[in-house]
Structure 1
Amino acid sequence: MSGNLLITDVRLANGQQVDISIAGSRIEAIGPDLKREPGTTEEHGAGALVLPGFVEGHTHLDKTMWGMPWYRNAVGPKLTDRIENERRWRATSGHDAGAQSLALARAFLHVGTTRIRTHVDVDTDAGLRHLEGVLATREMLKGVMDLQVVAFPQSGLLKREGTAALLDRALAEGADVLGALDPASIDGDPVASLDTTFAIASRHRKPIDIHLHEPGETGARTMSLLLDRVEALDMQGQVVISHAFCLGELPEQARDALLERLARLRVALLTTAPPSVPVPPLKACVAAGVTIFAGNDGIRDAWTPYGSPDMLERAMFVGMRYDLRRDDALELAFDTVSGAAARGCGFADYGLTVGARADLVLLDAETVAHAVAARPPRKCVISHGRIVARNGAGVAQ
C-alpha cells in the first residue's frame, strides 16, 4: 500500500494514547483524535504500544544459513580456525550470499527491523562475489529497508596480498563503510594495518567499522592508535569499534581514559553482549557520553548456530548480560537496538517524532520494558510509511 496512513489508538512509551498521521514516508502529526483526511487509509491500533522500527547495528547477512538445512559445526576453538573453516566451506558449498542475505533481511523486516548494518566478506578467494550478492539484496529491498554494507576483510588486511585493492574496489562499487579486523593479532602490524585502513577510507570519504577482539593491553594499544588517527584525520563521528572486548578487562583508570577519548572523538561502540567474554561497560559508556549500541553478529552460520532476526531478543540479551532489571534500565537496553544504534550507524531521520521517517512497530505490551522481556508478536510493521508485515508475515506491496 502507499499514500497517506492514519494509525489510531496507539500508546507511546510514556503511556500517552495518540493517533499518528503519516504523509508519504514521513510522520506528519502525533496527537489525540487526529482528523482523518479524505483518501487516507486508517489502521486501528487497538491500544497497542508503538515503537520506532528496530535497528540491527552489526550482522553478517552474507554468511547466514537461515532457512537452510542444519550445518554441523565441528570447528576448532581459535578465531583463525573459524575464519579458515568458513572460507573453505563457502568456497566448496556454493553458498549464495545474495539469496541468503535476502532471506534473512526479510525475516528481520517482518518482525520490525527496518535498518541494518551488515558486514560482508571481501577476500582474495571470493573477491567481490559476496558483496555483489548483498548489494543486489540492498537494491531489491530499497524503499522498505535500509541496508548499510560494510566491506569487511574477514581474513585480515595485510596477510593476503591484494586485499587492500579489493577493499578499494568494494567501496568504489557501492559499499557504504570500510571494515577492518584486529590490526595486531590478525595482521601482526597495527600501525601498518591502521594506516592502510584509514588511507582507503579517506580516499573514498567513507566511515570505518573495525572488529576489535584483541584483549586487555593489546586491545587498548590498538584502540589508542586508532583514536590517534581519528583525531589527526578529523574523522570524528565516522568510526565504530565493534566488540571492544578490551574495555571490559582494563583497570578502571585506563578504561575511563579511553572512554573520555571515545566520547570526545565521537567514536561509537558496538556490542553483541556475548555471555562468555568481557564486554564494554554499558553504564560507564553512557555516563561518559559514548554511544554504545547492539547487534547480533552472525546468525545461524558456520561460526555459530545461534542468533535471531528479532532485535527485541537482542535487547533482552543486552539486559541479561548487563544485569538490567529495572524498567528504566530495560529502556536503556531497548535504546541499544533503536535510537543509539541509529546514531552509531548514522541512520538519519529516525524516531517517533514529527518529520522522522515513518518506521513503526505495533505490539501488545504495557511498556518498553515489557516488550523487551516478553517479546510479543508484532501486530503490524510499517516501513517508509507503508505496512510491510502483520503478525510476523510479509504483506504484499
Structure 2
Amino acid sequence: MGEWIRNVRMETGFETEGDFVYGSRTESFDIQVENGKVIEIQSAGKRDGFNAYGNLLLPSLQEMHCHLDKSKLGVPWQPITPANSIVERFTQEIKELDQLDLSLQERARNLIDLELANGVTFFRSHIDVHPKVGQRYLEEVQDVLHHFKGKLDYELVAFPQHGMLRSDAYGEVKQALEAGVNLIGGVDPSSLDGDVEKSLSQTFELATAFQVPIDIHVHDRGEHGRETVKTLLDYTKQSGWQGKVAISHAFGLNDFVGEERAEVFTELAKTGISVVSSVPITGVIPPLEELRSYGVQVRIGCDNVYDSWSPFGTGKVTEKLNRYAEMFRLTKHDTLTNALELITGQPLLYEEGLPWLKEGMDASFILVDSSSTAEFVARQNDVMASFFKGKLVYQKEGV
C-alpha cells in the first residue's frame, strides 16, 4: 500500500467575472503515492499520512541553467576581480577557483542544498571540459551528485567554456560524452571561436554521434548573433535535430527586425529550438514573451550564483521568474499562473474542475504557503516542503 499526503490544496480552475480573472478555485485533496508515482487522488478526508496543513501543491521546480563547478558559495565574501573581456574572465577563473579554501565538491553541494530548499529537484548544469581543466570538474560534480541520488534528477552539459575551436576542446568534450554526459554545449562560435560553421559542425558531429541534445551559450549581438542563430537553424534541420537544441542567453535575437524577425522566430518554433534565459536586467534580455507568442519554448535558470562572473544570485529560480513577470508586465492572475511553466516545464491544465495533478504522474511536487499559483509567482512565498518521486526531500524548519 502507498503512503498518503493529506490535506493539500490544489487549484481546479479560475474564478472569473466576465473577462476578468480575479482568483483561483481550490479544493482540498489527499494524494496516495507508491513507487514514486501518484496512484490515487481523493477529496480530503480523515487519513493517516503526511499532513500538508492546507498548503498549495504545485509542480516541482527545475533549474534549467546553472554551473555547479563555478559557485563560490560557502567561502567568505569576495568581490569579482576586474576583467576586460570574456577571455580574460575565464582565463583567471581557473586560478581563482583552485585557490578557494572550500573544494569544488563542497561548493557544489552548497548550491544544490540551497536550491533544494527553494523547491528545485531537477538541475541542468554546464560543466567546463577543455584542455585547461580536463575532466576534473566533471568528475567531482558527478561524485557530488551521486550523494544526492534519490533526491533529484539532473542533466550535465559538456561545456567548452574556452571555445570549442579556440581551446581545441573537441577531444575533451568527446571524452565527457563517452563518460555519459547528457548534453553538449558551446559558447559564442562566432566571436569566440571565430568560425561559426566549423564550430557548429564539430558540435553537431558530436551531438549526433552520441545522440545527445545541444545547449549552447550565445551572448553575441549584431551580425555575430544573427549569423549564429541562422546557422544553428540550418544545422538543426540538416541533422534532424529538431526538438533537441537550446540556445542559452540568445541576446542576438533582439537584433532581427521586420520580416526576417518573424521568419526566424517562426523557424525557431518549427524546429523546436528552445531559449533558456537567466533574465538579466542589463538591457539585452531577449524578447521572450514575443518568442513565446510564436510558440518558442522558453525556460529559466539562475546561471551565476556568487562566482567569478557575478557577485549576485540567490539560488532562487522563483526570484528569476518574478523578475521575468515584472519585466514583461505579466500582472494578470491567469498570466502569472501560466508563467509558472517557465520554471517547472509542467503546464497547469485544469479539466472539468479537476486539478493539474493526475494519477500516474511522478509524485514530485512542492507545498507552498500561497493562496494560488499567481500569488506564489508574484510574492515568492516560501516553499514549505518538497517531494521527489514520493520522497520528502526538504521540509522547512518548524513545519
Q: Same fold (TM over 0.5)?
A: yes
Q: Deviation of residue 31 (structure 1)?
A: 3.3
2:130: which partner in 1?
123
TM-superposed CA distance for 1:112, in Å, is 0.9
Deviation of the 1:44 alpha carbon = 1.7
Instruction: Identify which of 340, 362, 365 aligns with 2:367.
Output: 362
Distance in 2 between the 1:103 and 1:287 partners?
Answer: 37
Tell me, yes or no, if the aligned pair for 2:81 and 2:308 is still in contact at 8 Å. Answer: no
For residue 46 of structure 1, what is the amino acid of its counterpart?
Y
Amino acid at match of 1:199: E
Instruction: Determine the structure 2 residue equivalent to 1:347.
Output: none
Partner residue of 2:43?
A: 32
In 1: Cα distance, 2:272 partner to 2:380 partner: 32
State the match for 1:62 in structure 2.
69
2:351 corresponds in structure 1 to: none
- SS of the equivalent of 2:53 reads strand
Does structure 1 residue 226 correspond to structure 2 residue 232?
A: yes
C-alpha distance in 2 between matches for 1:81 and 1:333? 37
Aligned to 2:293, the other structure's residue is in SS state helix
- 1:24 is displaced (CA, Å) by 2.1
Structure 1 148/365 Cα, relative in aligned 2: closer, same or farther at 3 Å? same
- Cα shift readout 1:40-62 (whole Å, capped 9, x = no counterpart): x6112222111111001101111
What percentage of residue pairs aligned between the two structures are identical? 30
Distance 1:129 1:13 in 2: 46
Structure 1 residues 322, 80: CA separation in 2 closer, same or farther (over 3 Å shift)? Answer: farther
Which one-letter code corresponds to 2:63 in the other structure? E
Equivalences for 1:268-287 in 2 at 5 Å? 268-287=274-293
Q: Deviations over 1:199-256 (max 9, x none)?
A: 1111111111000111133211111111111111111111111111111232143222
Q: 2:357 matched to 1:352?
A: yes
Q: CA deviation at 1:357?
A: 1.2
Mapped contact 1:98–1:130 kept (Cα < 8 A): no
Q: Is the 8 A contact 1:213 1:245 kept in 2?
A: yes
Alpha carbons of structure 1 residues 34 and 195: separation in structure 2 relative to 1, 3 Å: farther
Change (3 A) 1:43 1:205: same
Deviation for aligned residue 1:268:
0.9
Q: C-alpha distance in 2, partners of 1:292/1:35?
A: 41
| Amino acid paired to 2:199 | S
Cα pair 2:74 2:102 within 8 Å, conserved: no
| Amino acid across the alignment from 2:192 | I
**Aligned residues: CA RMSD:** 2.0
Question: Are positions 1:6 and 2:4 aligned together?
Answer: yes
Q: Name the residue aligned to 2:396.
A: 391
Q: Could you tell me whether the CA contact under 8 Å between 1:21 and 1:34 is conserved in 2?
A: no
Q: 1:233 to 1:392 in 2, by over 3 A?
A: farther
Residue 104 of structure 1 aligns to which amino acid in structure 2? L
Contact 1:201 1:207 in 2 (8 A): yes
Please tell me whether the aligned partners of residues 240 and 268 of structure 1 are also in contact (alpha carbons under 8 angstroms).
yes
Q: Quick one: which of 143, 146, 149 aligns to 1:139?
A: 146
Q: In the alignment, which residue of structure 1 is the partner of 2:28?
A: 17
| Cα distance change on mapping 1:209 and 1:340 into 2, 3 Å | farther
1:49-103 deviations in Å (ceiling 9; x for gaps): 1111100110111101112211221222432232222123124447632222122
Q: What TM-score, normalized by structure 1, do the two folds share?
A: 0.90
Matched with 1:240 is 246
Q: Could you tell me how far apart the structure 2 residues matched to 1:16 and 1:7 are?
A: 15
- For the residues of structure 1 that align with 2:88 and 2:326, how far apart are their CA atoms? 29
Deviates most, 75-84 or 188-197: 75-84
For 1:20, give the aligned amino acid. I
Using structure 2 for the length normalisation, give the TM-score: 0.89
Paired position in structure 2 for 1:74: 81
1:326 aligns with 2:326: no
- 8 Å CA contact 2:75–2:100 kept in 1: the answer is no
Match of 1:150 in 2: 157
* TM-aligned CA distance change 1:16 to 1:77, over 3 Å: farther
Q: Which runs of 5+ in 2 are unaligned?
A: 13-25, 348-355
